[in-house]
Amino acid sequence: MEDLKIELKGKIIEVLNLEDITVEDIQDNDPLFGDGLGLDSIDALELIVLMDKDYGIKLSDPKEGRSIFQSIETMATYIAANRTK
Amino acid sequence: MEQHKYSISKWCTVSEEVVKRFDQVVFEGEKGDFVAFAKAYYKTNEIDYPKFFKMDALSKLAFIGSECLLMDEEFDKPTSDIALLFSNASSSLDTDLKHCESIIDKDSFYPSPAVFVYTLANICLAEVSIKHKLQSENAFFVTPSFDGDLMYTQVKYILETHRAKQVLCAWVEYLEGKYKFFGYMVGSYRQGELEHTRENIKEIYRR
């Protein structure tokens, strides 16, 4: 699980072009949206694509994303339980 | 003889990793990599706008050139005083091609939303408007080459109908690593400034 969290942080930094942010800067329970990393609605769509492309998880209900994308912790927990890749 | 009511207060160019203002070099980056050059310009000028790194190349180019022209303007609140008039030849083709690459393989069909949002050339107008809180008139023209006559006519219309007090005009062209930004600001005539004429526009573009 720890490896998955580190992997996720790296992917998010790369895919979302987060300049001047390192894996070490992101805490497992930091909010990804709002006051945390400050991600926006396009970033949310990119995270949905990332889930599908890298972990084989298709999120069809946008409401699901709200709880899954709360933090690295919640994302990793969901991926670990549902991944097909 | 026609009295010129408007003048060109400043102009700048961005090409081949060099930024010039009033024909003087104000920034020079390493050759051959636009993205690295744009990042270097951002860092050197201590711009604090993280969304810059998410922009496509066309918007980064428009952003840098507009920064160069607007850095000494004061914006403490949203304004409709500065209109934007941009044009280019390739529209958003550079990003369109990137989007196309991501959907060409049916077995690996993962279009990027962050790329897709830039498959319209006029998005760069929005990027500049958001950064500088411009709630003003704007337009993006696609023409085979820089059309000074078109810009002249449009600027005159915007200013004479009081839609704005100044107009930021720009040719902002980017395709597969080749690029050019040529921008200038037009406002009410001030002594000592270059008169806003078709000839002067074409002349400073050629420099």
Give the H or E element holding residue A30: none
Distance CA B70, CA B98 (A): 30
* Mean pLDDT for all residues in chain A: 92
Q: What distance in Å separates residue A57's CA from the closest CA in chain B?
A: 13
Which class does domain A2-82 fall in?
Answer: mainly alpha
Which residues of B make CB contacts under 8 Å with A? 50, 52-54, 110-114, 117
Burial class (CB in 10 A: 0-12, 13-18, 19+), B145: exposed
In a domain, B174, yes or no: yes
CA dihedral B153, B163, B83, B124 (to 10 degrees): -90
Q: Which domain holds residue B101?
A: 6-206
pLDDT band with cut points at 50, 70 and 90 for residue B12:
very high
pLDDT band with cut points at 50, 70 and 90 for residue B3:
low
Domain ranges of chain A: 2-82
Residues counted in chain A:
85
In a domain, B1, yes or no: no
Residue B124's domain is classified under what CATH number? 3.40.47.10
Q: What is the pLDDT of residue B34?
A: 96
Q: What is the DSSP-derived secondary structure letter of residue B111?
A: -
Residues of A in contact with B113 (CB under 8 A): 42, 45-46, 49
Contact between B72 and B66 (Cβ < 8 Å): no
Q: What is the pLDDT of residue B131?
A: 93
Distance CA B62, CA B170 (A): 8
Q: What distance in Å separates residue B115's CA from the closest CA in chain A?
A: 10
In a domain, B142, yes or no: yes
Residues of A in contact with B50 (CB under 8 A): 18-20, 38
Q: What is the pLDDT of residue B11?
A: 98
Closest CA to B136 of B163, B155, B159: B163
Q: What is the per-residue pLDDT across A1-53, written as a single tens digit (0 to 9) for each?
A: 899 999 999 999 999 999 889 999 999 999 999 877 888 889 999 999 999 99
Closest CA to B155 of B198, B107, B114: B198
Q: What is the per-residue pLDDT across B16-38, written as a single tens digit (0 to 9) for each?
A: 999 999 999 999 999 999 999 99
At B178, is the secondary structure helix, strand, or coil?
Answer: strand
Contact between A69 and A47 (Cβ < 8 Å): yes
Average pLDDT of the segment spanning B138-165 = 97
> What's the domain count of chain B?
1
Distance CA A14, CA A46 (A): 11
Per the CB < 8 Å rule, is B112 touching A43?
A: no
pLDDT band with cut points at 50, 70 and 90 for residue B2:
low
What ipTM describes this predicted complex?
0.84
Q: What is the DSSP-derived secondary structure letter of residue B4?
A: P
